């Protein structure tokens, strides 16, 4: 039996093929292949490279897709989302346009606590229906792997319900979905301080989350007025003890020592990083921690403050890109995030696509399975309109995805 027998999908004539395989980078850059071919067998990548080096596939052995005029890249790994929310906060847009700050909106009954009220009153079937529609949209925009945080329950029952939804969706949707316990997203009104609530998280919530067995990660919003660095460290140490991998929201508004905590607790990633300086970036890089950048957030907050992606990369910190999809930054579109990364953070199309694929996978510890078109990995592939990488960020606000493929199966297409 030749290696080409049993082949089930061939994409050929690809105008631009970018594998995002770190092994193909020379001096930190991968030169895309022109006239490329990708061969998939049993849901895994068998070959990704120049068409003339491809195994010969006999007629009728595989579904063949002609990708002339198109660009092919790995499926997007959206490594930071808060999809487990109910309803939306469209009503806050008017207040934002009047120049009201997030804290003013919070005081007027909006903000995160209104999402907490909404989710606590939402049944599991209703939450599932809402999350499913967001995941479907993500699939149409090319996302094949998604991280989902809890954190709009802030009580044991609703946090567990959010994670249960993650598990059900992982089992029933074609995408891979990975759960993060973010009980420390905000201090809920029934607790007087971050320290008291942290006691409750450590003594009651973490053991129950660990026993439920759904969350892989534990995240904390380490920020002035939310969780101090001391409290963050305490929660993440306890989480580690329960087998959860630490992640941190740090330096979104102020830098309060979150990077040091991340290194101390052995975090896999740190997220936001608007105020992270070069020294912290170097220390994070030395510890092999991935920086997850979320340019949708300043965009939605109508700020001109974007994370210093260029400086991070110069300091050796590997950066991922994610949507941060949540009621205050409501987008499922990784292509839009890639446009923002190029237009507002000075990332090149290659750097942005790498951030949205292999580096997202590294932020989730999934780099051996997904994130690049490497033989042996799962066949998670996006076919884009446009013949070069530049077309993806260049044309923004539209859906450039022609086809999303997960495990070698066509999930659907973007626009006709």
Q: How far is the CB of 253 from Zn ion (least distance, A)?
A: 13
Hey, what's the torsion of the CAs at 363, 366, 367, 368, to 10 degrees?
160
Neighbours of 10 (CB within 10 A): 22
Nearer to Zn ion, 294 or 345 (CB): 294
Nearer to Zn ion, 315 or 324 (CB): 324
- CA–CA separation, 111 vs 80, rounded Å? 19
| Positive/negative CA dihedral, 187, 189, 193, 198 | negative
Residues 312-341, interacting with Zn ion (CB under 5 A): 324
- CA–CA separation, 9 vs 45, rounded Å? 9
Neighbours of 361 (CB within 10 A): 25
- Count of residues touching Zn ion (by CB under 5 A): 1
Q: How far is the CB of 326 from Zn ion (least distance, A)?
A: 6
Which SS3 state, helix, strand or coil, does residue 57 take?
coil
Which is nearest to 383 in space by CA: 1, 120, 14, 3? 14
Residue 257's φ and ψ, nearest 5 degrees, are: 95, 15
Q: How far is the CB of 217 from Zn ion (least distance, A)?
A: 12
Nearer to Zn ion, 4 or 324 (CB): 324
Nearer to Zn ion, 155 or 324 (CB): 324
**Which residue number has the CB closest to Zn ion?**
324
Q: How far is the CB of 186 from Zn ion (least distance, A)?
A: 11
Nearer to Zn ion, 322 or 353 (CB): 322
Q: How far is the CB of 168 from Zn ion (least distance, A)?
A: 22
Q: How far is the CB of 85 from Zn ion (least distance, A)?
A: 11
Q: How far is the CB of 249 from Zn ion (least distance, A)?
A: 6
Nearer to Zn ion, 325 or 382 (CB): 325
Nearer to Zn ion, 324 or 332 (CB): 324
Q: Which bin fits 26, alpha (ψ -120 to 50), beta or left (φ > 0)? A: beta
- CA–CA separation, 370 vs 375, rounded Å? 11
**Contacts with 7 (C-beta within 8 Å, 6 or more apart), sequence order:** 39, 40, 41, 46, 55, 57, 61, 62
- Which chain residues interact with Zn ion by CB under 5 A? 324
């Amino acid at each position: 039996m030749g290696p080409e027998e049993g082949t089930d999908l061939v994409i050929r004539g690809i105008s631009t093929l970018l594998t995002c395989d770190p092994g193909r980078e020379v001096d930190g850059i991968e030169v895309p292949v022109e006239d490329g071919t990708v061969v998939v067998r049993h849901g895994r990548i068998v070959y990704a490279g120049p068409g003339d080096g491809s195994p010969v596939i006999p007629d009728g052995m595989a579904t063949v897709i002609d990708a002339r005029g198109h660009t092919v890249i790995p499926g997007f790994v959206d490594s930071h989302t808060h999809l487990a929310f109910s309803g939306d906060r469209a009503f806050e847009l008017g207040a934002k346009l009047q120049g009201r700050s997030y804290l003013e909106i919070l005081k007027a009954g909006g903000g995160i606590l209104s999402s907490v009220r909404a989710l606590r009153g939402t049944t599991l079937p209703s939450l599932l229906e809402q999350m499913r529609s967001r995941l479907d949209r993500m699939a149409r925009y090319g996302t094949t792997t998604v991280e989902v945080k809890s954190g709009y329950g802030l009580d044991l029952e609703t946090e567990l319900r959010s994670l249960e939804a993650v598990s059900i969706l992982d089992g029933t949707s074609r995408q891979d979905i990975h759960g993060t316990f973010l009980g420390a997203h905000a201090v809920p009104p029934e607790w007087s301080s971050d320290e008291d609530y942290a006691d409750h998280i450590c003594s009651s919530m973490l053991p129950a989350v660990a026993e439920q067995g759904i969350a892989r990660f534990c995240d904390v919003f380490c920020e002035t007025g939310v969780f101090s660095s001391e409290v963050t460290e305490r929660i993440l140490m306890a989480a580690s003890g329960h087998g959860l991998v630490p992640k941190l929201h740090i330096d979104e508004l102020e830098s309060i020592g979150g990077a040091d905590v991340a290194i101390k607790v052995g975090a896999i990633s740190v997220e936001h990083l608007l105020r992270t300086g070069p020294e912290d970036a170097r220390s994070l890089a030395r510890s092999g921690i991935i920086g997850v950048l979320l340019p949708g957030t300043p965009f939605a907050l109508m700020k001109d403050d974007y994370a210093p992606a260029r400086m991070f990369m110069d300091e050796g910190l590997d950066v991922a890109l994610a949507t941060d999809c949540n009621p205050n930054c409501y987008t499922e579109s990784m292509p839009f995030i890639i446009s923002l990364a190029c237009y507002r953070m000075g990332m090149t199309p290659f750097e942005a696509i790498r951030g949205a694929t292999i580096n997202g996978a590294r932020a989730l510890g999934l780099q051996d399975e997904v994130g690049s078109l490497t033989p042996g990995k799962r066949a998670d592939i996006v076919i884009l309109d446009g013949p070069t990488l530049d077309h993806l960020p260049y044309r923004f606000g539209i859906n450039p995805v022609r086809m999303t493929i997960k495990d070698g199966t066509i999930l659907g297409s973007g626009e006709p």
